[in-house]
Amino acid sequence: MSLNDGQRRLKAVLGHMNPDGSNGLARNFTDAKEGKGLALKDKQTGKEWDIAVPLDTAAKEGKQVSFRLIPGSTVTESLTVIDNRTKKIQEIPIVNNAIEAKAIKKMAFAKSAGRVEDETENGLRVYDPGFQNTAVARSSITYINGDEGILHYRGYPIEELAENSSYLEVAYLLIYGELPTPTQFAHFEHEVMHHTFAHTKLTELMQTFNYDAHPMVSLHHLHPFLPNPSVTISADFTRLLPPQGCFITGIAAMSTFHPEANPALQGADVFTNNPQILNKQIFRLLGKSPTLAAHAYRHRIGRPANSPQNGLSYTENFLYMLDRLSEREYKPNKQLARALDILFILHAGELRLGGRWEENWGSEVGVFQMTDFASCSPNVCSVTNVDHELNCSTAAMRHIGSSRVDPYSAVAGASAALYGPLHGGANEAVLRMLERIGSAENVGSFLGEVKARRTKLFGFGHRIYKNYDPRARIVRKVAYDVFDIVGREPLIEVAIELERAALADEYFVSRKLYPNVDYWSGLIYKAMGFPTDMFPVLFAIPRVSGWLAHWKESLEEKDAKIWRPRQIYVGPPRRSFVPLSHREQGTESQPDVAVGTSTHPFRKRSKVATYKEGSGDDQ
């Protein structure tokens, strides 16, 4: 249909609607003749409505133009969708700037349409790899506005909490929704600090790990093999563990010591029906997390574990368990404990807005960024800690928890997600970058390489924050306080000069590449003497409170369901089985099947030896 034909038909339609010229809608051809488009006009009021059709472009390109009159809606907060396959119109309500995915599912099509595997008759699906624009929960825990650089925990600005509160007080806020009264906080602190001792069997278990096991992971891998506290773990068995650590396995193993808190044994509603049991697990996980982390650290350096001490704050107790040797009345430095407390606050409710190592070379800057939601500039890396909405580890906590498993298994799963190099690790990347720069004099040439896309800049920019990361401002001050106490290292001077040079360069400022929280937190931990492989553990401890807050919130959801995302099947259609003897090597490329080969010297020698099948013991 040509443009003129379309105009004539529209005129005929409108004329049919108003045959006597009475009140109604009429065509206004003036704009169309002048190339400004079409409009509908109400004869009674004179009000006009533009027809949103690119007539000018269509006319120039000789394309057909079609019109469809859509009934208006009295509901402003709604979305009107036309399914061009069925010509059906659907109105979808908008609530909190979101629409229900199930409303999209109502858009079904004939079963014969498209591939059978697409299941068009079962409704339309939304494809969103990585959950980049999918809300899977309604939460009142954390609010982030990346454009404005805002981070709120339960409505309270992170700056105010870091300056005036403590980690345990923020943990209470995250988990229970309000700041505690003095009586409530005294009870909460007492319960947490009196649940810091780990079972002796759990301590013995951790002693069986290889000394060089990574302090993060070995707490996870033994869980399936611990049916009860009396199980015996041989030294040989622990050698099956990858040399990755201790924290996650200890957390998971805790579930075997508390069968009364296992929904698989006590019923799926054990926590919703009994708040006392729920709170007991919260106290245990908050209290024992730093204990297990300290045990993992002490085992790594070949020293016996220290028992928790009463009379110390949460972070003071952690530092005591890490560092005391045989000194009497050992007390950690209060300023360092406060610095660690602030870092724990910043990391407590964080979504860890860096979730994927995402290498994006689509823009001019070469920036390697580590993030979870929107994307920042291409050559920068970013991230942080406590609760930051639904990052990878927090989403894992809610996903695993949706099956109503015990919280220890869920926290172990969340910790495992945090340990992954695409989620955690930005702080280590910053340190490696600063070590590569070497000295403050080399900063200028390094930034030149970043602009030329020959190297990557870590610790600047953020996938969510398009302004100066509010946590970075706080951490920067903490960093200088820590440096004044323990002294500066050469990397500190490099970091200061890199920040100064980047913020003075319009190239980076125009792209909103400001230092993020990871830029300084890794330097703080390094200055305090923590090895880099301990960083993920230091991030996990405070995040336990954020994970528990999401776990508790998910249990309270009225319409809670087990999380079960859909997929889009893109594999082959139905095929008939061909027996192995009838299959021939095709000319098309075959799947690349990886064949495992051992590089152990013993196996190399055995592969060239001659022998008969069977055991040598049979001789």
The pLDDT of 424-449, averaged and rounded, is: 89
Q: Which of 423, 469, 559, 592 is catalytic?
A: 423
Query: What number of other Cβ atoms are within 10 A of residue 293's Cβ?
Result: 25
3-state secondary structure of 426: helix
Q: Which of 220, 221, 462, 550 is catalytic?
A: 462
Q: Is the pLDDT of residue 225 over 50?
A: no
pLDDT at 93: 92
pLDDT at 277: 96
Q: Which of 518, 592, 600, 618 is catalytic?
A: 518
Cα(111)–Cα(104) distance, integer angstroms: 17
Q: Is the pLDDT of residue 261 over 80?
A: yes
Question: Is-catalytic flag, 462?
Answer: yes
3-state secondary structure of 61: helix
DSSP code of 441? G
The pLDDT of 220-243, averaged and rounded, is: 37
Q: What percent of the chain has pLDDT over 90?
A: 40
User: Of the ranges 50-59, 61-70, 120-129, 386-395, which one carries the lowest mean pLDDT score?
Assistant: 50-59
Q: Which residue has the tokens 């799963």?
A: 413
The pLDDT of 41-58, averaged and rounded, is: 71
Question: Is-catalytic flag, 152?
Answer: no
Q: Which of 452, 463, 288, 313 is nearest to 375 (CA)?
A: 463
3-state secondary structure of 69: coil
Q: Which of 167, 577, 507 is nearest to 363 (CA)?
A: 507
Question: Is-catalytic flag, 258?
Answer: no
Tokens of 436: 């590569």
Q: Is the pLDDT of residue 108 over 80?
A: yes
Strands (E), 94-226: 142-145, 150-153, 156-157
DSSP code of 381? E
- Burial (CB < 10 A; 0-12, 13-18, 19+), residue 311, is exposed
Q: What share of the chain is helix, strand, coil (3-state, %, to 5)?
A: 45, 10, 45
Q: Could you tell me the domains of the chain?
A: 3-51 (no CATH), 78-118 (no CATH), 142-213+240-351+387-556 (1.10.580.10)
Q: Which of 275, 513, 540 is nearest to 424 (CA)?
A: 540
As separate numbers, helices (DSSP H) first and strands (DSSP E) second, the chain gives 25, 12
Q: Which of 544, 349, 520, 317 is nearest to 430 (CA)?
A: 520
Cα(419)–Cα(396) distance, integer angstroms: 12
pLDDT at 22: 43
Q: Calculate the average pLDDT of the chain.
A: 79
pLDDT at 130: 84
Question: What does DSSP say about strands 369-371 and 356-358: parallel, antiparallel, or unpaired?
Answer: antiparallel
pLDDT at 205: 86
